Amino acid sequence: EIVIEKMEVMPDHVHMLISFPPRKSAVDVIKALKGRSAFLFLQTHPEIRQKQYWSGHLWSSSYYLGSLGNMSKDVVERYINDHKYNAYKK
């Protein structure tokens, strides 16, 4: 039901374009994405959990969420593409 249409992982945050049915609340969608991704990541990388980073949490409790509104999906996809992290630039 939740579709990740576009995603770029940055050093300290993630850009995502997601779609979900209107019957789902945005808060519930964010909780589901953060919860499931943290579970899978920490299952794959138990050494991170053992170091107790971030008080034992993978994600911070905050997030930014915006709706497309009058923007087209193409505009948001272009923004995400244009803001890809390039480790070689540093």
Helix (H, G, I), strand (E, B), or coil: what is residue 8?
Answer: strand
85 is catalytic: no
Helix (H) / strand (E) containing 6: strand 3-9
Taking phi over 0 as left and psi of -120 to 50 as alpha, with beta for the rest, 44 belongs to: alpha
Catalytic residue (choose from 53, 63, 64, 79): 79
The three-point CA angle 67-28-68 to 5° equals 5
Give catalytic residues, as residue numbers: 79
